[in-house]
Structure 1
Amino acid sequence: MRLRKKTWARPELEACNFFIINPSQYKGKWREAFNNNNPIYLELGCGKGTFIAVHGSENPDINYLAIDIKDEVLVLAKRNIEKAYDEKGLEVNNLKFMAQEISLINDVFSEEDIVDRIYINFCNPWPKKKHKKRRLTHSKQLEKYKQFLAKGAKIYFKTDDDDLFNESLEYFKESGFEIEYITYDLHKSDFEGNVRTEHENMFSEQGINIKFLIAKR
């Protein structure tokens, strides 16, 4: 669904102290943005921010970065993040988010930016053959992530889409990742600590199994 342009979204984002207006300025020095040496976890395509809000507010010793492209979505993420932290009586000190085209991820991250985990939740499946290289799990993208992923770092990936999931398995293997964990029905699996997203609940209510894997570099 296409969101209507909201002229007030950008001003609200720019007034937020954990929104990064110009992410390229931190390329090679994301730890300076947090002013500590805690691990960095990155969510690609954070949507309305419900997933990262839960993780961030529950894990103050981990630095979280969230990326999406539309101001109209990111402003909702901002509000959900603030709400989650406020409910726990916390300041948003360990989470930052930004507007960035993920296909150009290497414009804002370099090999000096050591990321320990990536989350990819319900990304666009791009089912047409000519569009598959746009997938966030495509080998072309995985090679970009490897520029800043730590050795032993993990990618957590979940989706409702069977074709995307099965083809992503091949992408990970092609790019030298080890599949550490896999399930074709996350909600009936033994995996602990899953944070459900809005899309996840929607697909589950439709009777669609959630596919999930952990790939280790």
Structure 2
Amino acid sequence: MRLRHKPWAKEFIEEHPEYVISSPCQKNTSWKEIFNNNNPLYVEVGTGKGKFLDNMSVKYPDINFVGIEKFESVLVTGVQRVLETKPANLKFIHGDVNDLLEYFNVGEIDRLFINFTDPWPKKRHEKRRLTYKSFLSLYEQALRPHGEIHMKTDNQGLFEYSLESFSKYGMKLKNISLDLHNSNYDDNVMTEYEEKFSKKGQRIFRLEAYLSTK
């Protein structure tokens, strides 16, 4: 998908540090202190326009949410959204998932979401997939013991690859769905892409993964 360039997005994002951290040096304390509570911390990597986390923050007011997005022309829509809804339990990071441990302490995250990430289908791009083993290593360090990864995608190839990648890494899998919207899972909050794909009749794949030995 080609991103629509918004030359004003960077400046707009930087004008709202109350909702967006744009560099690790801005975060000089723990997320519990940033949110001023001891609630669980859920993080979405590649949060896009932020609709999923905005809806999650309303549905679960006793959970803190952080979305990471590196494309400012996409993230700016999420910032505009929260300026209207003003959630107390949602923040964004304008940054790259590769820098995850610069924004989060070891064992600080309770749950991590990977929703409709780029499948990078070519073999030579395997290392860019957010379920490649190097990313799983990052997640393992940032997650608390027995913390979970929840993933959704419309791409069957990426889903099958991820099932294998999680398993090879030593993670346990549960609540695997090959057709989420025709399953009995009743706690789903949709993303923008999910709404778009489901309206076209495409299947949505979902899984949960965790390290039982951590």
In structure 2, the residue matched to 1:88 is: none
Decide which moves more: 157-166 or 6-15: 6-15
Match of 1:103 in 2: 98
Amino acid in structure 2 at the alignment position of 1:205: K
Q: Which amino acid aligns with 1:12?
A: F
Query: Take 1:193 and 1:81, find their aligned partners in 2: how far apart are those partners?
Result: 22
Q: 1:27 to 1:206 in 2, by over 3 A?
A: farther
Is structure 2 residue 158 aligned with structure 1 residue 164?
A: yes
Find the partner of 1:177 among 171, 180, 183: 171
In the TM superposition, residue 184 of structure 1 has moved relative to its aligned partner by 0.3
Q: Give the aligned partner of residue 61 of structure 2.
A: 60
**Unaligned residue ranges in structure 1 (runs of 5+):** 86-90
Alignment partners' CA distance in 2, 1:116 and 1:13: 26
Per-residue CA deviation, residues 84-142 of structure 1 (Å, 9 max, x unaligned), is: x3xxxxx422111011111232232231x511101111000010111011111112101
The amino acid across from 1:73 in the alignment is V
Q: Which runs of 5+ in 2 are unaligned?
A: none
TM-score by length of 1: 0.90
Q: 1:146 corresponds to which residue?
A: 140
Match of 2:188 among 184, 194, 214: 194
Counterparts of residues 67-86 of structure 1 (less than 5 Å): 67-83=68-84, 85=85
Whole-angstrom distance in 1 between the partners of 2:99 and 2:144 = 19
Q: How many residues align?
A: 210
1-structure distance, mates of 2:156, 2:165: 14
- Matched to 2:76, the amino acid is V
Letter in 2 for 1:26: K
Query: For structure 1, which segment, 26-35 or 44-53, has the greater mean C-alpha deviation from structure 2 after superposition?
Result: 26-35
**Residue 27 (structure 1) shift:** 6.7
Amino acid at match of 1:23: P
Query: TM-score by structure 2 length?
Result: 0.91
Task: Among all aligned residue pairs of Structure 1 and Structure 2, give the percentage whose two residues are the same amino acid.
Answer: 41
Shift, 1:180, TM fit = 1.6
Distance 1:23 1:30 in 2: 12
Pairwise CA distance, 1:178: 0.9
Describe the shift of the 1:204–1:3 C-alpha distance in structure 2 as closer, same or farther (beyond 3 A). Answer: same
Taking structure 1 as reference, are residues 214 and 146 closer, same or farther at Cα in structure 2, changes over 3 Å only?
same
The one-letter code sitting in structure 1 at the alignment partner of 2:205 is K
Q: In structure 1, the residue corresponding to 2:112 is in which secondary structure?
A: strand
Cα gap change, 1:24 to 1:119, in 2 (>3 Å): farther
How far did 1:175 drift? 1.9
Question: For 1:53-105, what per-residue CA distance to the aligned partner results, in whole angstroms no more than 9, with x for missing partners?
Answer: 0001222211110011111111101122334x3xxxxx422111011111232
Deviation per CA, 1:29-69, whole angstroms, max 9, x where unpaired?
22222122111000011111110000012222111100111
